[in-house]
Structure 1
Amino acid sequence: MDEGRLYELLWGTPSGPRRGPRPTLTLDAIARAGIAIADADGLEGLTMQRVAESLAVTKMALYRYVPGKAELVALMLETAMGEPPPPRAGADWRGQLDDWTRQMFDRFRRHPWAHAATIAPRVPGPHELAWLERVVAALAGTGLTGGEQMDVAVLLIGHARNLAQHSAAGTAPAQGREAGLATLLRGREDRFPALDVALRSAAAEAAGDQALDFGLARILDGIQALITTRRPT
């Protein structure tokens, strides 16, 4: 990956290719063409050739705008995540982070390929930093350190991304886990009586559909407890 070129693509104001004929494409159009392909076929199905064909240009013409697939995926991620929505009026830090995480979950659910695109170190774009800014701003004045504020963002992103990945696969994590355990326990209930009772209760409560709500509430409870310890008594 050409990190210098990627930085320019994400943070600069390039108007088009560096050389050659007058530009006929925009980076936004290229990114959205890539998103359409990745949404349908994943990153494995994304190629520069397919993007070029969808835009009715040659692959060599596309390379004049974007030097390779890695840079293309970075542009796609920046476009797919977009600017974070503004915080709800009057919401406290907990309400803001609850809404933030649900919005993040929605982005990852709509674009399953984004999970793989965000697990390795990379140059973040302005939209990605805007999402991080929202978390840090919500926690300003709570007593958490700057490092802790950013760690909260990482924790919430992980929760949203993990659940969205399972959602894209068609199974909530708890549902898949409980179905597998129920199969293993069949005929062995006497050996694992407490687990058998818990699984029956979970099935009756449809707990598998509440993974986002339950996990998010517990994460925010933990953050609330930490904030409480930082406030003078």
Structure 2
Amino acid sequence: MPAPTTRELLWGTPDRPRRGPKPSLTLERIVTEAVDLADAEGLASLSMARLAERLGCAKMALYRYVPGKTELTALMLDAALSSPPENHTDPADPESWRAYLREWSGTFFGNAVAHPWLNELATGVRVMGPNELAWLETALAVLDRSGLTHAERLDTVVLLLNHVRGMGLQTGTAGTDLEGELAREMTAVFLTQADRFPHAAVALAEAVPGTESAATAGRDNALDYGIERILDGVAALIATRR
């Protein structure tokens, strides 16, 4: 019997009969352990041999469930994304789409930060899984009565995703403060180069934690700022269609 394809693994395939005792492994357990491994050690550390070691089984036992790393990472991506926020928009409220897309973007960002390897897998031509497609579907659905064309709705979602993913890459792992760390590293440079780079010096100075300027400048706000400006532009376009 041929090995299941990525599409079959993501979207289901007829049950394959198995003989003998009930296996100790399950595909769900394998994927969960693979996600935990990637979270802890990075995607580069993930291998079928390393995963088998963590699961306490022979490497060849994994191939009964998943043909290889390509199929495994596709399952990991869909599992890490989980489900999008519930669509709670009010059809009677023409502005409810904005609140939902704000929540949608923030939730996706949280997933990207919790699983830093997620962005690396969510690129290129590939089969999208049910969770990933659900993220797309719900975002498109809330714009159904907006007056935007289907292509414009899709472009809106892609624009939000690109912003959120980009911020996820810049933020790093949860609990880190890359903005503050960059400002601290560059402080010595700007003490001598502020005349040459005055705008950059002032902007980064406001990011240094503990300073009065950092407390009042809205630091760490690039994610929300970008989301709001994107939604402002979409709202302006929607207004022209009404």
TM-score range, shorter chain: 0.7 to 0.9
Instruction: Assess if the C-alpha contact under 8 Å between 2:183 and 2:205 holds in 1.
Output: no
Q: What's 2:222 paired with? A: 211
* Aligned-residue RMSD, C-alpha: 2.7
Distance 1:195 1:56, change over 3 A: closer
Is the partner of 1:143 in helix, strand or coil?
A: coil
**AA aligned opposite 1:86:** E
Distance 1:153 1:4, change over 3 A: farther
Q: What's 2:234 paired with? A: 223
Q: Distance in 1 between matches of 2:241 and 2:58?
A: 59
Select the structure that is richer in helix. 1
Query: Does residue 1:92 correspond to 2:96, yes or no?
Result: yes
Q: What's 1:145 paired with? A: 149
Is the partner of 2:128 in helix, strand or coil?
A: coil
Is the partner of 1:222 in helix, strand or coil?
A: helix
Spell out, residue by residue over 1:141-179, the C-alpha distance to the aligned partner (whole angstroms, 9 max, x if none).
11111111111111111222222222225344x556655
TM-score, normalised to structure 2, is: 0.82
Gaps of 5+ in 2: none
For residue 6 of structure 1, report the CA deviation from its aligned partner.
0.6
**AA aligned opposite 1:102:** G
Match of 1:125 among 122, 126, 129: 129
**AA aligned opposite 1:218:** R
Spell out, residue by residue over 1:102-129, the C-alpha distance to the aligned partner (whole angstroms, 9 max, x if none).
1101111111111111122211001111
Q: What's 2:167 paired with? A: 163
Is the partner of 2:125 in helix, strand or coil?
A: coil
Q: How many residues are treated as equivalent by the alignment?
A: 228
**AA aligned opposite 2:191:** R
Instruction: Assess if the C-alpha contact under 8 Å between 1:48 and 1:59 holds in 2.
Output: yes
Q: What's 1:113 paired with? A: 117
Gaps of 5+ in 1: none
Is the partner of 1:129 in helix, strand or coil?
A: helix
